[in-house]
Amino acid sequence: MTRLRNYFLTGLIIAGPLGITAYLTWSIVQWIDGLVKPLIPAIYNPDTYLPFPVPGVGLIVAFVGLVTIGFLTANIAGRTLVSYGELVLGRMPVVRNLYSGLKQIFETILAERSNSFKKAAIIQYPRPGLWAIVFIATEARGEVAHHLYEHNEDVTAVFLPTTPNPTSGFLLYVPRSDIIELDMTVEDAAKLVISAGLVSPDFDKALPLKQAPSAQKPDSARLEAVD
């Protein structure tokens, strides 16, 4: 029974991530196909003349469409058209706030010049003595930076993820001196958060778990000798 249990757990560890990854990938492909395939003309849709549906057609069409849009907007005429469209959206009371916020988020996350979430770090949160993993976003900007610089605070915006869902969390502005950057990648830090500390990346330079008290604080005899 012990061997059967070990075999079962080993098989679950191997098959579980593979099955979940395959399921999520298939769900995303089907979701994109469901959105894009109705927009494809029947003459170009292979589902109209094949006896079975072809998965992934919508994904390929969406990829080609996005590349085409990027190519067309890279020239002067495309940029002019986009600027005119943004000008029209900027005059719509509700739509302009939604569009500007989403555009800024996408530019921050996807732009090659962005340094967002390139570093993992630890800070003391929610009180001194308790440590939490954060992702370094960017330096404080705008009005927040203006008011904090008045108080002589050099702050950095960090994202503190929650366990086990790292997509939700808190935006914190932390003094730069209170942030300890880690050597681990953002992916390894995300795994650590998702697993609630059970999956920890290897670290060859790790310090000893315990240090002798004499190494941390000199005793009274040493202080007297120094005096």
Q: What is the pLDDT of residue 110?
A: 67
Let me know if residue 75 belongs to a domain: yes
User: Do residues 45 and 104 both lie within one domain?
Assistant: yes
Pair (91, 154) in one structural domain: no
Tell me the C-alpha distance between 49 and 43, whole Å. 9
The answer to whether residue 221 is domain-embedded is no
In a domain, 28, yes or no: yes
d(CA 136, CA 139): 9
Query: What's the chain's length in residues?
Result: 227
Judge contact between 176 and 117, C-beta under 8 A: no
Considering the domain architecture, whether residues 175 and 94 belong to the same structural domain is answered as no
* pLDDT (0 to 100) of residue 135: 92
Crossing angle of the two packed helices 93-110 and 76-89, in degrees rounded to 10: 140
Does residue 73 sit in the same domain as residue 139? no
On whether residue 226 sits in a domain, the answer given is no
What does pTM read for this prediction? 0.52
Does 104 lie in the same domain as 13? yes
Identify whether residues 140 and 102 lie together within a single domain. no
- Distance in angstroms (rounded) separating the CA atoms of residues 218 and 32: 65
Is the C-alpha dihedral spanning 125, 129, 135, 136 positive or negative?
positive
Q: What is the rounded end-to-end Cα distance, in angstroms, of the chain?
A: 68
pLDDT of residue 109: 65
Q: Would residue 102 count as lying in a domain?
A: yes
User: What range defines the domain where residue 85 resides?
Assistant: 2-110
Beta bridge partners of 67: none
Same domain, 95 and 154: no
Q: What is the mean pLDDT of each run of 10 residues along the chain (227 residues)?
A: 88 88 91 88 83 86 88 81 83 82 73 66 92 87 76 81 85 89 88 85 62 42 42
- Of the CA atoms within 13 Å of residue 160, those in its CB half-sphere come to 14
